[in-house]
Structure 1
């Protein structure tokens, strides 16, 4: 009998973790955010770009196929960090004041970041490395928003090879190391690598390794200017000569085969502003191939750096009790940087420090396969992001979830993981009630309906998704209505057919817009 009990105890203590079981200790949390990366730009969501480390996170965890961002850099980062809609946090647009509290351009006093709450309420070490972009005021900087260690870029873009001015409008790219402005003048350190190195260095420097950590790694890649390491560009040069028409179909076919999209969702038509690939001359094809090769190289290097972070977690013995979350801040960007008067133009060797360029509408249309439109738009091409979550023993490997969630849901998820209740008051600040909902039931494999209703507004582009229905409009354009269960690629506008549905959803959208402080963009855009 004693011998039997001994065997039983060994079996219990040697058994692997049970999926959905509550962790015995507070988990470490790593949130990784890509910048301007489209829905289909990683291998496990349809891409031909080699992303083995992100794909491994997906194989060992969960892919969420109907996850959303807020459509652009600043609003998405505000939503992620605070669990509020961007307007509620003061970042309804970008970092310039637009005349009202919802568009003040920096995190307001009624919001708290994940780092602030985990640090103060649960004793977490807190680290941020990368693009910040939620305000230039002292009160909104990372070191004042709960982060023990921070290496941040305050503005939207930078050269990937130095900190020389990118803009000719007098604005500067400010890098900060904790509370000090710094010049990142080391041309040998590629920005994606610099962000990774600071994250790894900070993990090594945690003094009390028994305390959990929250780390936010916000890559600037693959945001323009498209610049990459020469050896990475060489891996992809020539691979894009088949063109965007063929590649969109190939990505779509892969998405169908892997269950990322449903068979009833058609591939949207090529954007009307993009020419047919076969209409281009050989020289034009070569130019476009180079642009996409550089972009692919940027995604590839980001993936390699994520692999370095995962290796460091394993080396430190932290990988088993760390949840890793990966997403993008918006869809692929249609920006044509060569036409921007505010940007210093450089026409040197493509992909180098002496070149300022972007991959423009045709390739962004590929990035957002199978959807239409882009960053800044509230159609699916602008707001759909992959969400990948890996948490060994607590998230079943190789699973997929198609419920609707949003970056606003990461704050309540992190709080629940850490056993923290969102406070009404924090440091004498009255906090706005969370807009998001926790993902924990999804992670546990339990029934979770997701967000029944979600809202968007950015520079006059606006939308509401309620269940299967989505009402969406671009600035100064009429509402469009789509049944996303049958047509998530938004190819069949049903607004005329279901007029009562349009009126009902518009009423709900307007109530939300009034609640969070949305202002008519035409009245504030020039402020």
Structure 2
């Protein structure tokens, strides 16, 4: 190691010295749910029991206009780098090896690298879905669950980047609990080994992503609760959202002819006659279909409830360390609830108990429309239902507000600058000899205070041809590359029910020009120093 500094200067890389521990810096717990809808938590209008999230909201802040990228891997890229995923090759850019197999530029480092330089000890528990490996990207310890098809018997998972044996289905293993167990183990060891030094725990659950698999005792709590159906329960959620002042928009209309984003007709047959791939009116289902569908949503609710229980255990560990007052906790989802329907993993046995390891069920568009109340569409689309996430922020020592709402629009790219600010650092201007491009995110720290403000010139989206841009309260959105732009005034219509494109073509043209300019900027960054695609 005595040669490290000369080598750094030889290659023109400015070394960044690690800061000594400072007790004023908060610990950070960043919690990410997978495929959770905007209104699933109780504190965002849901009927699912989430007392631990509700308590965080009661003693902290809820952001009502916060956004993700509509899909899991670009969301994680934006979250941990502070850049839109296209600019760092983690979502598709034509002509560039990009998307889920894309490799980030060297300058697009992950958050834990920056936090490590500020004296933090970094731990990862759960889903990864980013290029590279955790320990080579700033984490000291990691449990990475890379098998996203099984909750009871994973075959692909690692600890500290080393493969673990596959788990049999007849063991007590359940993914959501295992992820929390690892986080708690890291925190216990941290409290023994690094007294007075801050930690960063990245707690990335796979729940409630499909397959719908849950513990029997959790499913039993919701047996029969969803027999009233997705139409009635959606209206009830919307009313609670309105009463909570989280939503001031009408309830969006359900698009009855809009099914999953990807068709799998053969898989639909495997699921049996009680499955439906359209959000048809509940009253038009047969009695058998209603029972089947209600049981599916009961499993989803059980998964969300178990997620909350495990979050509670992690928080209890932080309390036992006497660190809750100075731990900044953030909770969010990587995209809206999913209308996807497919059969993967070990297949689907229609005779097995619903929600067990031998079944592979998905939420589907009917219940996804409930989970994304009051918005339109689902994961992968960039209408509000696909990109809106609940965001809860809790930090007793740093936020005096309790139970307040923040209407400030924000995006995942804002999380990294926020956390760097509270950690007392900033992004370097040069990394490995390369100039670091300006990042689009803004620190949210000013709006932790009641009168603080944060403004973005724009918020930008693209995923699989779906496109959107928000400037102020104006939003343009298009479903697919060949679709025309729609225009909405989100100040009165986040339900995206009243398309103003025909009435205001100049506004559409103005916003479309901004969208195109930003796309060109991100595509240019993605192509710079891009690795060559292998020859076919």
Normalising by the residue count of structure 1, what TM-score does the alignment of the two structures yield?
0.87
The aligned residue for residue 52 of structure 1 is 51
The count of aligned residue pairs is: 477
- Going from structure 1 to structure 2, the CA distance change for 1:500 and 1:409 (only over 3 Å counts) comes to same
Note the residue ranges of structure 1 that are not aligned, 5 or more in a row. Answer: 1-22, 165-173
Map of 1:319 onto structure 2 = 324
Equivalence map 1:272-291=2 (5 Å): 272=256, 273-291=278-296
Is the alpha carbon distance of 1:380 and 1:437 closer, same or farther for their aligned partners in structure 2, counting shifts above 3 Å? same
Q: TM-score, normalised by structure 2?
A: 0.86
1:308 to 299, 304, 313: 313
For residues 321-363 of structure 1, the C-alpha deviation after alignment (integer angstroms, 9 at most, x for no partner) is: 100000000000000124x7x8744432210001011010000
Match of 2:498 in 1: 492
Work out the CA distance in 1 between the residues paired with 2:41 and 2:391: 11
**2:430 counterpart of 1:425:** yes
Determine if the alignment matches structure 1 residue 190 to structure 2 residue 194. no
- Write the distance in 1 (CA, Å) between the matches of 2:434 and 2:130: 19
Question: Residues 360 and 85 (structure 1 numbering): CA distance in 2 closer, same or farther, change over 3 Å?
Answer: same
Q: Which residue of 1 aligns with 2:185?
A: 201
**In the alignment, is residue 132 of structure 1 matched against residue 137 of structure 2?**
no
- Any idea what the Cα deviations from partners look like across 1:3-32, whole Å, max 9, x if unmatched? xxxxxxxxxxxxxxxxxxxx9611101100
1:461 is the counterpart of 2:466: yes
Within 5 Å, give how 1:98-113 maps onto structure 2. 99-100=95-96, 102-103=98-99, 105-113=102-110
**Counterpart Cα distance in 2 of 1:478 and 1:92:** 22
Aligned-residue offset at 1:392:
0.2
Please state how far the C-alpha of 1:102 moved relative to its aligned partner: 4.7
- What is the match of residue 181 of structure 1? 163
In the TM superposition, residue 99 of structure 1 has moved relative to its aligned partner by 4.6
Say if 1:57 and 1:430 are closer, same or farther in 2 by CA, change over 3 A: same
- What's 1:162 paired with? 153
Tell me which of 230, 251, 258 is aligned to 2:244.
258
- Aligned-residue Cα RMSD (Å) equals 1.9
CA-CA distance at 1:429 after TM superposition: 5.1
Residues 21-32 of structure 1 mapped to structure 2, 5 A cutoff: 25-32=24-31
Cα–Cα, structure 1 residues 202 and 373, in superposed 2: closer, same or farther, change >3 Å? same
1:115 to 112, 130, 151: 112
CA contact (8 A) 2:34 2:333 kept: yes
2:225 paired with 1:239: yes
How far the C-alpha of 1:98 sits from its partner, in A, is: 7.2
| CA offsets 1:123-161 (integer angstroms, 9 cap, x no match) | 1000010101112xxxx1111110001111236x23100
Which segment drifts farther, 433-442 or 422-431?
A: 422-431
SS in 2 for 1:108: coil
Q: Is the CA contact 2:347–2:359 (under 8 Å) kept in the aligned structure 1? A: no
The more displaced of 329-338 and 219-228 is 329-338
Could you tell me which residue of structure 2 aligns to residue 359 of structure 1? 363
Matched, 1:146 2:154: no
Stretches (4+) displaced over 6 A: none
Among 504, 509, 512, the alignment partner of 2:515 is 509
1:316, 1:392 → 2: CA distance?
15
Q: How far apart are the structure 2 equivalents of 1:421 and 1:241?
A: 51
1:397 to 397, 402, 408: 402
1:218 is matched with 204
Q: Which runs of 5+ in 2 are unaligned?
A: 1-21, 257-277, 527-532
